[in-house]
Amino acid sequence: MIELIRVVKKFGSLIAVNDLTLTVPAGQFFAVLGPNAAGKTTTLKILAGLMKPTSGIARVGGFDVQTHPLEARRRMAFVPDFPFLYDKLTPWEFLRFTGQRKGSDYTLQPGALRQQAH
């Protein structure tokens, strides 16, 4: 589960994220859409623990990203804006690489993942 509770992020007088509350239940996919400078990347960086909110709470899997960052990070993956390996790896290779860095056992092949989803 992902939870954002009254999250605010300010850069000086600029309010990048303004009182955002959001809950995404476990097992759900979601997308963050909006125009440039809407606060999408800032919000994701807060969830990933790469940026501290000015105020509010961000949780991943029930763990506060500020007080229990390692537990929160173990339950998510963050793909940065500037890909460093995309041009060298296939999407499946990149997924497996990212998972292995987090200690996951990616023994499935690309087709097996699709079969397990049904």
More confident residue, 109 or 74: 74
Cα gap 35→41, rounded to integer Å: 11
At 59, the pLDDT band (50, 70, 90 cuts) reads: very high
pLDDT tens track for 76-91: 877 766 666 566 777 7
Cα 88 to Cα 35, 97, 99, 107, 115: the distances in Å are 30, 12, 17, 21, 27
pLDDT tens track for 11-32: 999 999 999 999 999 888 788 8
At 10, the pLDDT band (50, 70, 90 cuts) reads: very high
Which letter, b or e, does each residue of 8-22 get, where b requires 16 or more Cβ atoms within 10 Å of its Cβ? Answer: ebeeeeeebbeebee
pLDDT tens track for 27-47: 887 888 888 889 999 999 999
Cα 116 to Cα 4, 26, 105, 109: the distances in Å are 30, 17, 15, 11
C-alpha count within 13 angstroms, C-beta hemisphere, residue 76? 30
pLDDT of residue 14: 95
Domain 2-73 architecture: 3-Layer(aba) Sandwich (3.40)
For residue 27, give the 3-state DSSP assignment.
coil
Q: Where in the chain do CATH 3.40.50.300 domains reside? A: 2-73
pLDDT of residue 118: 44
